[in-house]
Structure 1
């Protein structure tokens, strides 16, 4: 099966909606959501002339931004329902001082850095970071994150797709073996 032809044959509207949905989940801070996958699929449809780079970026930015707003809302109105241990890990004086001092750049950068996305988003909501300011910074971060990634993938993706098609299975098995090894070592270490 030719991956590029299969991806190019996808309905652009359906792909845009899936991009929006997956990047909303990723933007909300749900760990393990592969936001780059729909962006790679967008590359094939852009390359085939079924959509444009601007359209792909727009759907991705809107999805990531909506997810960020949902994550903030969860922190703001649902944060008190989190287990006390989780709240203590996120909502402590050190983090609140960090957000007060570096809030703007942290919110922008957290859109791209997955390990920051969830704690910064929840902390901003839990500490009642100003909503309009958060939305503006989150939009800037989403535009930078999706815009840079989608543009780089658009530029270099056509060369990447054949490699994924040829070596994707081996890469997936290798990542699975690496994850299993890390989990086994962690289990052994904590035993």
Structure 2
């Protein structure tokens, strides 16, 4: 069975999933949750779509992604606990985590406690550093593990299921996207920038304000109204 086409930027991930499948999803999710910017969530969604299209098993995708997410965040927590803020300040700039950004994120996470570990799973930026922050702030490991697992289960469950459902109907979705793009590019489309449409197939020209039908006669009237110069304005004669 040939792989179903993936919409948008996802076709670029098709060779990776075709060759490595589950391991690609697990590796990218683990790297991302370890604190390194990586397209883990994008790979997870693409793998879910592949599973819906019959190329992968959705249970396998979800289990591997969940395990990778929990392990990745624990690695990040260990880095924060062992290296502390000095480690983050020295090496964080290589992954776009400056001392100022880290301090703001740390203050935010400390203020909201363990629940932010769950919420951070759905926030770009916090997802990558929340494990490190848990380590530097001294959050007890068992407490962190519980919130970490809850967040991983919610995030992986949400994206894997949505992507799987999309993959089951990927052909219909792809056709609708293509049809919409064609409609947008049509000069007589209601969304076209060349004018607006009203009832009964009439169209209002943005330059003249004249209503016309979409046929040839309407086009001739529009052209005539645009090219015909207005009568000159004569000055009033003195009394």
TM-score, structure 2 normalization = 0.56
- Residues 119-153 of structure 1, C-alpha deviation per residue, up to 9 Å, x if partnerless? 43222111111111111111110110111001001
Name 1:115's counterpart in structure 2: 125
Aligned residues: 161
* Pair 1:33 & 2:16 matched: no
Residue 56 of structure 1 deviates from its aligned partner by 1.4
Higher helix share: 1
- Output aligned runs, 1:2-151, within 5 Å: 3-4=3-4, 10=18, 14-48=20-54, 51-79=56-84, 80-83=86-89, 86-87=98-99, 89-91=101-103, 95-96=106-107, 98-151=108-161
Name 2:237's counterpart in structure 1: none
Range moving further from structure 2, 98-107 or 128-137: 98-107
Alignment gaps of 5+ in structure 2: 6-10, 179-239
Whole-Å Cα distance in 2 between the matches of residues 28 and 160 of structure 1? 32
Alignment gaps of 5+ in structure 1: 168-191
Whole-Å Cα distance in 1 between the matches of residues 129 and 135 of structure 2? 10
Whole-Å Cα distance in 1 between the matches of residues 34 and 170 of structure 2? 28
Bigger Cα Rg: 2
Q: Secondary structure at the match of 2:122?
A: coil
| Structure with more contact order per residue of length (Cα contacts < 8 Å, sep ≥ 6) | 1
| CA RMSD, 1 decimal | 3.3
Q: Stretches of 4+ moved more than 3 A in 1?
A: 5-11, 84-89, 98-101, 158-164
TM-score, structure 1 normalization = 0.68
Residue 160 of structure 1 deviates from its aligned partner by 4.5
